[in-house]
Amino acid sequence: MCDEIIRKEVRFAVHIPKTTYREDYHYVKLVETCKCGKITPKIVLLKDYKRDVYITKKIHQNHKEKKEFEDLDKLSKQECTQSDLNKTVANLLGKSYLISTPNEIKNSPYIYGYDITSTSYIKLKSLHKNNFIQSGYSVAVLDIENDVVTKEILMITIVMSDKIYTAVLKKFIGRCGDHLTRIKNAITEYIPMYKDLAIEVEVFDKEVDMIKKTFKIANQWKPDLLAIWNMDYDIPFILDRLEYYHVNPIDVLCDQTIPRELRICRYKQGIKKKITASGVVKPINPSMQWHTLILTASFYVIDAMCVYRQLRLSQQEEGSYSLDNILGVNKIQQKLKFKEADNYKGIKWHIFMQENYPIEYTVYNIYDCLSILELDKKNKDLTNTLPSFAGITDFNRFNSNPKKIVDALFIFGLDKNRVIGTVPKINKKEEEIESDEIELNEDAEEGVDVEEDVTKYKTLSLKQWILTLPQHLLVYDGLCCIEEYPNLKTNIRGLTYDADVSSSYPSCTLVCNVSKETTLYELIDIEGVKEEIFRMQNLGFILGSVNMLEYFNEI
């Protein structure tokens, strides 16, 4: 037996904040790889883990504007727990009254590395030790089926690698004699490629016992990721059923091997609506809603549907992100259908199958899980791409490009002996900025009223940067489709195309190399030139080799 460990990798970490009845902890999932290639999952509890935070040394606190980076030799490093971060920083600033107002702390121009979480630090140390090489994540898939009428959960299936576990209510499958043999025969008939997988089917009298056993199995298997397709259906449903039975979810979903006071189970739904600039409220596609289950368990629950969409934002949007459609797009056998139920659709199909074909319906549930594993085997979204793209960013913030960029720039800065600044939380309104008093420059030449030198402090307005194409530039090539006026061109087009820029922010910032450190001067006024003209031309000036002829012609 090989016991020489050659690699340890952190998969994810969950911060357990300090309270009146517990200290600061981190629940860390890692895997150990032996020389023989065997991979063993492990759970570690870190007590009072210290992360870094930086503050500008007093001698260099001579600026009022935030910097993007600061040199390490101009900073003092302080270690503290994540729970004590605000207290530590406020005391370093000499402003202990800011402990309860973290937004004000973030506005300080002298704080660096504040936005990097302790869980990101834990992941970063692991990546450093392994030269930023990660092995593939292990994935399990979970799916539930509920009674359309009574809302009870009829069955839960969890699948990982070559093993299947299905928990079923006795009231649903009890009327079927020798159900295990019949389920195996149905698998051989409908999905023969999986007939050799190890399958366990357990029947329960009580719904809550079925839920408990399933998550006990999940914590025993210890997959890195527990994937669910559209988890905003399954997880709230499970939590609602536990609440119905007056059972605390920390006693079911969490790792039961850790002390009860350290268990956390909190579901956070993603944003479901957005308000456009014109004030119109629009729903967000479910595939773009990034939901999070903050859970101290040996697995991280992830929405496979949202991951699939997030990793393909630059591609054309699919007509539907239902599992059935995505399987078809990827040329994988779609969800099981049975000729006996061909005349039924939607909820009626489920009612018919539940009442008349419980064995086939159970196999239907099992294949839903197997098909997601098959999809991941083909595209590697969960095993490789998601962890690689996330880097040190927590999975619960994976949908935030700015957060991923900040974390990546933090690593980049450390390699250059620099630390990234802190993003301010509160931005002053334009009218508030204009009303602020301007301090006099003590080094100004005598006789010069600096306060009246408005060009030194004036900035361009943040408004009216988004412009529509002027009407006079439109090409009138519409169809002549009015019978009474055959030569009249209308605004009706036969062929249209909707072009959009993918991830224009921050892509435009990167392409133009826009930064405080790369900005020497900001042109705010040209006598005799209208503001809208020099705004447009100054943007073009950044890419001078492309736009120089137009620039010199206009300016």
Which pLDDT value is given to residue 90? 92
In this structure, is residue 425 part of a structural domain?
A: no
Between CA 351 and CA 145 the distance in angstroms is 11
Q: Do 234 and 357 fall into the same domain?
A: yes
Write the single-letter amino acid at 140: A
In this structure, is residue 306 part of a structural domain?
A: yes
Contact 26, 16 (CB under 8 A): yes
Q: Do 203 and 342 fall into the same domain?
A: yes
The beta-carbon contacts of 79-83 under 8 Å, at least 24 apart in sequence, are: 79/50, 79/51, 79/52, 79/53, 80/50, 80/51, 80/53, 81/18, 81/24, 81/48, 81/49, 81/50, 81/51, 81/118, 82/15, 82/17, 82/24, 82/49, 82/51, 82/117, 82/118, 83/17, 83/18, 83/24
Q: Is 171 exposed, middle or buried (0-12, 13-18, 19+ CB in 10 A)?
A: middle
Q: Do 49 and 145 fall into the same domain?
A: no
Which pLDDT value is given to residue 445? 39
In this structure, is residue 429 part of a structural domain?
A: no
Q: How many domains does the chain have?
A: 3
The beta-carbon contacts of 494-502 under 8 Å, at least 24 apart in sequence, are: 502/313, 502/314
Residue of 279 and 355 predicted with greater confidence? 355
Q: Do 251 and 270 fall into the same domain?
A: yes
Q: Spell out a b/e string for 300-336, using b for 16 or more CB atoms within 10 Å of the CB, else e.
A: bbbbbbbbbbbbeeeeeeeeebbbeebbeeeeeebeb
Between CA 322 and CA 342 the distance in angstroms is 19
Confidence of residue 3 (pLDDT cuts 50, 70, 90): confident
Q: Do 81 and 145 fall into the same domain?
A: no
In this structure, is residue 128 part of a structural domain?
A: yes
CA distances from 182 to 73, 170, 185, 201 (A): 71, 15, 5, 11
Between CA 168 and CA 166 the distance in angstroms is 6
Pairing mode of beta strands 153-160, 163-169 = antiparallel
Could you tell me which residues come within 8 angstroms of residue 152 by beta carbon, excluding any fewer than 6 positions away? Answer: 146, 169, 207, 241
CA angle 116, 117, 118 (to 5 degrees): 125
Cis peptide bond N-terminal to 506, omega within 30: yes
In this structure, is residue 228 part of a structural domain?
A: yes
In this structure, is residue 408 part of a structural domain?
A: yes
Q: Do 373 and 405 fall into the same domain?
A: no
Between CA 374 and CA 193 the distance in angstroms is 11
Which pLDDT value is given to residue 472? 60
Candidate from 66-70, 433-437, 549-553 with smallest mean pLDDT: 433-437
Between CA 421 and CA 410 the distance in angstroms is 9
Which pLDDT value is given to residue 169? 95
What residue numbers bound the domain in which 65 lies? Answer: 5-135+399-420
Number of H helices, E strands in the chain: 17, 18
Q: Do 94 and 205 fall into the same domain?
A: no
**Count of C-beta atoms within a 10 Å radius of residue 465:** 9
Confidence of residue 366 (pLDDT cuts 50, 70, 90): very high
Between CA 94 and CA 76 the distance in angstroms is 14
Contact 177, 184 (CB under 8 A): no
| SS3 letters across 332-366 | CCCCCCCHHHCCCCHHHHHHHHHHHCHHHHHHHHH
Q: Do 126 and 158 fall into the same domain?
A: no
Handedness of CA 397, 398, 402, 408 (dihedral sign): positive
Token duo for residue 69: 């980076």
Taking the mean position of all CA atoms in its chain, how far away is CA 356?
A: 41
CA distances from 115 to 107, 369, 400, 410, 541 (A): 12, 37, 13, 10, 34
135: left (phi over 0), alpha (psi -120 to 50) or beta: beta
pLDDT in tens, 454-512: 444 567 777 766 666 666 667 777 899 999 999 898 888 888 776 666 666 667 777 77
CA distances from 70 to 56, 67, 223 (A): 8, 7, 40
- The percent of residues above 70 in pLDDT, for the chain, comes to 89
pLDDT in tens, 12-26: 999 999 999 999 999
Give the DSSP per-residue string, 377-421: HHH-IIIIIHHHHHTTS-GGGTT-HHHHHHHHHHHHHHHTTEEEB
Give the CATH number, domain containing residue 156.
3.30.420.10
Q: Do 99 and 163 fall into the same domain?
A: no
Residue that has been written with the tokens 């935070």 in this structure: 53
Token duo for residue 425: 């939380």
Which pLDDT value is given to residue 463? 72
Between CA 47 and CA 81 the distance in angstroms is 9
Write the single-letter amino acid at 106: K
Q: Do 264 and 298 fall into the same domain?
A: yes
Q: Nearest CA to 340 among 355, 325, 324?
A: 355
In this structure, is residue 449 part of a structural domain?
A: no
Confidence of residue 426 (pLDDT cuts 50, 70, 90): low
**Count of C-beta atoms within a 10 Å radius of residue 472:** 5
CA distances from 8 to 26, 371, 432, 543 (A): 17, 31, 52, 46
Q: Do 335 and 255 fall into the same domain?
A: yes
pLDDT in tens, 74-96: 999 999 999 999 999 999 988 88
Handedness of CA 38, 43, 45, 49 (dihedral sign): positive
Token duo for residue 265: 């189970």
Q: Is residue 27 pLDDT above 90, yes or no?
A: yes
Q: Do 248 and 318 fall into the same domain?
A: yes
In this structure, is residue 441 part of a structural domain?
A: no
Which pLDDT value is given to residue 449? 40
pLDDT in tens, 132-152: 999 999 999 999 999 988 899
